Amino acid sequence: MKCTVIGVAGGTGSGKSTFTNRLRREFGNDVTVIYFDNYYKRRDDMSLEERKLVNYDHPDSLETDLLIENVTKLINGIAIDEPVYDFTVHNRSDKFRHVEPSKIIIIEGILALHDERLRSLMDIKVFVEADADERILRRVIRDVRDRGRDIEGIARQYLTTVKPMHYAYVEPTRYLADMVINSGMNQVAFDLVKTKIQQILQEK
């Protein structure tokens, strides 16, 4: 089964997940989403306090080789077991998510477009952007609500790693994208990508 790979990148809180989830709801089982966040390296050798201090916005924090291996398998029609990351303890869990190949594969993550090897597997590259103030506010709400974080910790992490790494590694990939959209709720951009996927599915 030939498949199409779509990369969705952008800064923290930009609307990547919103955009990706809209596509998944629209196309159901024809779309498989792989979350780059699940490929953060396992750090069992570190305490929780030590793991809190890791720079998770640097490319070296991710096991990109494993992601590339798994995406390549899906492209070749082979199912994978995707790791599952637990943000509440800053470490990869013991769980795995079984993923079957599908016609459309979406790779979502802040650094989805950073590695040239990963980009070479993509047919369509999307960068989702939003105002920096909006992004940090969304991150605060998400991290407090879903990840058990406190405001002070979020602010410290944002200022020491998230913000500088965004400008060093995330923002430059904007210029590698085929399409740059402002927010995950941009209806015109969503309709364009939806139409493209519909066309691909019809051709398959």
Q: CA–CA separation, 5 vs 56, rounded Å?
A: 25
Calculate what percentage of the chain has a pLDDT beyond 70. Answer: 98
Tokens of 162: 């998230």
Question: Residue 185 has what pLDDT?
Answer: 79
Burial class (CB in 10 A: 0-12, 13-18, 19+), 142: middle
**For residue 4, how many C-alpha atoms fall within 13 Å in the half-sphere facing its CB?**
17
Going through the chain in order, the beta strands assigned E by DSSP cover 4-10, 31-35, 80-86, 91-99, 104-108, 124-129, 179-182
Q: CA–CA separation, 77 vs 75, rounded Å?
A: 5
- Residue 1, classed as helix, strand or coil, is coil
Question: Residue 69 has what pLDDT?
Answer: 98
Q: What is the mean pLDDT of residues 79-108?
A: 94
First to last CA, the chain: 9
Between 85 and 163, whose confidence is greater?
Answer: 85
Between 149 and 176, whose confidence is greater?
Answer: 176
- Listed in sequence order, the residues at least 6 apart from 4 whose beta carbon sits closer than 8 Å to its beta carbon are 103, 104, 105, 123, 124, 197, 200
pLDDT (tens digit per residue) in 8-38: 999 888 889 889 999 999 999 899 999 999 9
Question: 96-100, 175-179, 196-200: lowest mean pLDDT where?
Answer: 196-200
Q: CA–CA separation, 47 vs 146, rounded Å?
A: 21
Tokens of 40: 């953060």
**pLDDT tier at 189 (50, 70, 90 boundaries)?**
confident
pLDDT (tens digit per residue) in 112-130: 999 999 999 999 999 998 7
pLDDT (tens digit per residue) in 144-166: 787 777 788 777 878 788 888 98
pTM higher than 0.85 for the full model?
A: yes
